[in-house]
Amino acid sequence: MKSVLLASFLFLLADFSFAEELTNYTITSDSQVNTLEGDLEAKGNVVIKSNSGNFEAYSDKLSFDKDDKSLKLIGNVYVKNLESEGISIEETSGDELTIFTEKGLFEFKSQNKNRVKTKIKF
């Protein structure tokens, strides 16, 4: 009964650090589940923000795979101020974003003939 009550709380917060990066992130969502293996899944109105910068991302679902060292945002993804390998992305949107946290690389996909839109600085 207690677990049902705990699961019903909205907007759970979690501090999270990526493998090679010392920046902490706050993840806010309608629900979150973590596993003993270190994986994390957040669902519903997902917001992820860096605690020491201006990175922001929004999606319907977020999953972190510790073994694969990847963070996947799925559904109505919008990202603001993403830095990767010397490239600065002011904002981007699409259907699915995978960030490979150990390598600092990312892959953005779109489905249903939607297009990925990115404002970028080199």
Distance of alpha carbon 99 from alpha carbon 74, whole angstroms: 12
CB proximity list for 94: less than 8 A, separation 6 or greater: 77, 108, 109, 110, 114, 115, 116, 117
* pLDDT higher than threshold 50 for residue 77: yes
pLDDT one-digit tens code per residue, 78-106? 999 877 667 788 888 889 988 887 777 77
**Whether 79 contacts 105, CB under 8 Å:** no
* Residue pLDDT, tens place only, 5-61: 233 232 333 344 444 445 688 999 999 999 888 899 999 999 999 887 788 999 999
In CATH, 2-121 is 2.60.450.10: yes
- Choose between 75 and 113: higher pLDDT: 75
The pTM of this model reads 0.72
DSSP letter for 2, please: H
> Which amino acid is residue 63, in one-letter code?
S
Structure confidence at residue 112 (pLDDT): 67
Q: What is the pLDDT of residue 20?
A: 45
More confident residue, 4 or 47: 47
